[in-house]
């Protein structure tokens, strides 16, 4: 084997590991130094975008700050939802932002893809409603009088625009691969499931008009759920995710449950191909998997945040720490509450 061949193979492997990752655009969240993404030139300099995303960036420069806010939203929500799990969504300072965790077809990857596809749709829709963008505004298709008798009025969130943008920007790498690989199918499915978590949970918000709060005229508009709600829904889908495999039906390839006794997943469910690692130990070959040494755990919980499971049976350290809390709160007429500050010692447990 020539050394040239060896070098080339290593290079290919490197590219496969670090560039073939459709969630690299999340790195936009780290680009606070770029300032605002204000011109087409900036698009060329953004790390983590593939060429076709750079083109979308250039055609939609004004939308890119919303995309970046979406990336940040996804990271924050992931860390909140996974705060008590062994893998807690910690990010690296490089691409891919979540390291090895999202380069495999795991349940965690399914969660990250769904959440980030949703976060872009959410952030772009928000930007439309706030009047920040020339290209989109409120949803004008929502108008007239509803069957319930209220007047559609005010700014309905233009979720169709946000979803369409997310589909073109987030899904593009998978689509350019011709949708043939099982990972591409998995990612596309989960991206769509994430966006469904918003689409299928739109709500109607209303305001009453009339003399002293009477509801003679009611005006309503369609609004997205708060992003925390979207995160909760996708986390539930993570807990109930379906393990799937690729099956050929005629000439098309589809993902079907690996266990044929399970009922097939719906458009809103998450699917995954590979079992997750246990996330117990720090693995230098798997960037992003930090292990659970030093993590807080709950001595009385039997769940994944309990010391037994969190520390993977390695045991834990216990430390007494002082916490300051509000206590002996008294209600004073009228109308405020006054509290004392209490100090107390509590036991804190951290994994060995
Ligand atoms: C996640 O866990 C690591 C240790 O495994 C810790 O350093 C980090 O502060 C935790 N939290 C977040 C949000 O990353
Ligand atoms: C620890 O777990 C128990 C049982 O699940 C729960 O009641 C308690 O609030 C938890 N403590 C903390 C500090 O989270």
Residue pLDDT, tens place only, 58-111:
999 999 999 999 999 999 999 999 999 999 999 888 888 888 888 889 999 999
Ligand that lies nearest to the alpha carbon of residue 88, given by its number in the listed order:
1
Tell me which residues have their CB closer than 6 angstroms to ligand 2.
Answer: 298, 300-301
**Range 338-350 average pLDDT:** 93
Q: What is the largest CA-CA distance in the chain?
A: 87
237: confidence class by pLDDT, cuts 50, 70, 90: very high
Nearest CA, atom 9, ligand 1: 90
**Range 231-248 average pLDDT:** 96
Nearest CA, atom 14, ligand 1: 90
**Ligand 1, residues 279, 290, 297, 311: which to mutate, most atoms within 8 A of Cβ?**
290
Give the span between the Cα atoms of 208 and 204, in whole angstroms: 13
Residue 1 pLDDT greater than 80, yes or no:
no
Residue range 245-288, pLDDT digits in tens: 999 989 888 999 999 888 889 999 999 999 999 999 998 888 88
Give the span between the Cα atoms of 176 and 192, in whole angstroms: 16
Nearest CA, atom 6, ligand 2: 301
In percent, the amount of the chain with pLDDT more than 90 equals: 63
Instruction: Give the model's pLDDT for residue 22.
Output: 65
Residue 14 pLDDT greater than 80, yes or no:
no
Instruction: Give the model's pLDDT for residue 262.
Output: 85
Give the span between the Cα atoms of 225 and 221, in whole angstroms: 13
Ligand that lies nearest to the alpha carbon of residue 97, given by its number in the listed order:
1
First to last CA, the chain: 45
Ligand that lies nearest to the alpha carbon of residue 81, given by its number in the listed order:
1
**Ligand 2, residues 298, 306, 344, 346: which to mutate, most atoms within 8 A of Cβ?**
298
Q: What is the average pLDDT score of the chain?
A: 89
Residue 20 pLDDT greater than 70, yes or no:
no
Distance 120 CA to ligand 1 centre (A): 24
The finding on whether 19 has its CB within 6 A of some atom of ligand 1 is no
Instruction: Give the model's pLDDT for residue 2.
Output: 54
Distance 82 CA to ligand 1 centre (A): 10
Residue 235 pLDDT greater than 50, yes or no:
yes
Instruction: Give the model's pLDDT for residue 307.
Output: 97
Nearest CA, atom 13, ligand 2: 298
The finding on whether 79 has its CB within 6 A of some atom of ligand 1 is yes
The finding on whether 90 has its CB within 6 A of some atom of ligand 1 is yes
Which residues sit opposite 206 in a β-bridge?
Answer: 220
> Of 176 and 286, which is predicted with more confidence?
286
Nearest CA, atom 2, ligand 1: 88
Residue range 116-154, pLDDT digits in tens: 999 999 999 999 999 999 999 999 888 999 998 899 998
Give the span between the Cα atoms of 244 and 274, in whole angstroms: 9
Contact 107, 296 (CB under 8 A): no
Instruction: Give the model's pLDDT for residue 180.
Output: 66
Instruction: Give the model's pLDDT for residue 257.
Output: 95
> Of 225 and 340, which is predicted with more confidence?
225
Instruction: Give the model's pLDDT for residue 225.
Output: 98
Distance 44 CA to ligand 1 centre (A): 32
Distance 75 CA to ligand 1 centre (A): 13
**Range 156-177 average pLDDT:** 91
Distance 311 CA to ligand 1 centre (A): 14
Read off the tokens for 285.
Answer: 């070959």
Residue range 301-311, pLDDT digits in tens: 999 999 999 99
The finding on whether 84 has its CB within 6 A of some atom of ligand 1 is no
Pick the CATH number of 292-352 from 3.40.50.10540, 3.40.50.10490, 3.40.718.10, 3.30.2460.20: 3.30.2460.20
Instruction: Give the model's pLDDT for residue 215.
Output: 85
Instruction: Give the model's pLDDT for residue 5.
Output: 53
Domain limits of the chain?
A: 3-291, 292-352
Residue 192 pLDDT greater than 90, yes or no:
yes
Q: How many CB atoms lie within 10 A of CB 348?
A: 14
Nearest CA, atom 10, ligand 2: 298
């Amino acid at each position: 084997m020539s050394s040239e061949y060896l070098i080339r193979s290593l290079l290919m492997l490197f590219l496969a590991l670090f560039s073939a990752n459709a969630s690299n655009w999340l790195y936009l969240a780290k680009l606070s130094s770029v300032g605002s993404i204000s011109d087409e030139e900036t698009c060329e300099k953004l790390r983590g975008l593939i060429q076709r995303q750079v083109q979308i960036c250039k055609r939609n420069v004004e939308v890119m700050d919303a995309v970046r806010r979406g990336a940040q939203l996804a990271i924050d929500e992931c860390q909140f939802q996974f705060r008590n799990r062994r893998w807690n969504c910690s990010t690296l300072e490089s691409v891919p932002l979540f390291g090895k965790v999202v380069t495999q077809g795991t349940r965690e990857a399914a969660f990250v893809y769904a959440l980030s596809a949703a976060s872009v749709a959410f952030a772009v829709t928000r930007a439309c409603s706030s009047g920040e963008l020339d290209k989109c505004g409120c949803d004008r298709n929502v108008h007239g009088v509803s069957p319930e008798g209220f007047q559609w009025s005010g700014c309905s969130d233009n979720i169709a625009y946000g979803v369409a943008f997310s589909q073109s920007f987030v899904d593009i790498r998978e689509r350019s691969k011709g949708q043939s690989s099982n990972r591409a199918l998995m990612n596309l499915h989960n991206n769509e499931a994430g966006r469904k978590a918003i689409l299928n949970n739109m709500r109607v918000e209303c305001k009453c008009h009339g003399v002293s709060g009477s509801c003679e005229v009611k005006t309503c508009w369609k609004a997205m759920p708060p992003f925390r709600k979207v995160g909760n829904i996708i986390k539930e889908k993570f807990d109930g995710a379906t393990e799937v495999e690729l099956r050929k039906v005629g000439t098309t390839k589809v993902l079907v449950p690996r266990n044929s006794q399970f009922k097939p997943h719906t458009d809103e469910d998450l699917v995954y191909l590979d079992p997750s690692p246990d996330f117990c130990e720090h693995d230098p070959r798997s960037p992003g998997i930090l292990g659970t040494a030093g993590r807080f755990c709950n001595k009385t919980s039997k769940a994944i945040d309990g010391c037994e499971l969190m520390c993977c049976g390695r045991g834990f350290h216990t430390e007494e720490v002082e916490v300051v809390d509000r206590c002996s709160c008294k209600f004073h007429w009228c109308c405020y509450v006054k509290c004392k500050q209490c100090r107390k010692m509590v036991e804190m447990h951290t994994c060995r």
